[in-house]
Amino acid sequence: MRYLIVRTEVREQDLDGPGMRDERRRPEHRRQVASAHDRESAMHMARALAACGAVRSGRQRVKVIRLGV
């Protein structure tokens, strides 16, 4: 199984409507992208990206996305 690790800018919710975020129609701006072959490696990389000051302050977020079946 492959995983995609993405660090994105947090976007204001008001742009998509109250309480909604449509990632398919308006995805958040990507700052950094990496891939991993297993979940353990993906989580390790996500923790490393989450140590960034912008993530810790809430301006960015880290997402782990499973690719394929």
pTM confidence score: 0.78
Top-confidence residue, 4 or 18: 4
Q: What is the pLDDT of residue 13?
A: 66
Asked if the model's pLDDT at residue 16 lies above 60, the reply is no
What is the span of the domain harbouring residue 34? Answer: 2-67
* Chain mean pLDDT for the chain: 87
How many structural domains comprise the chain? 1
What confidence category does residue 38 fall into, taking pLDDT thresholds of 50, 70 and 90? very high
* Cross-strand pairs, 5: 34, 64
Assign 24 a pLDDT band (cuts: 50, 70, 90): confident
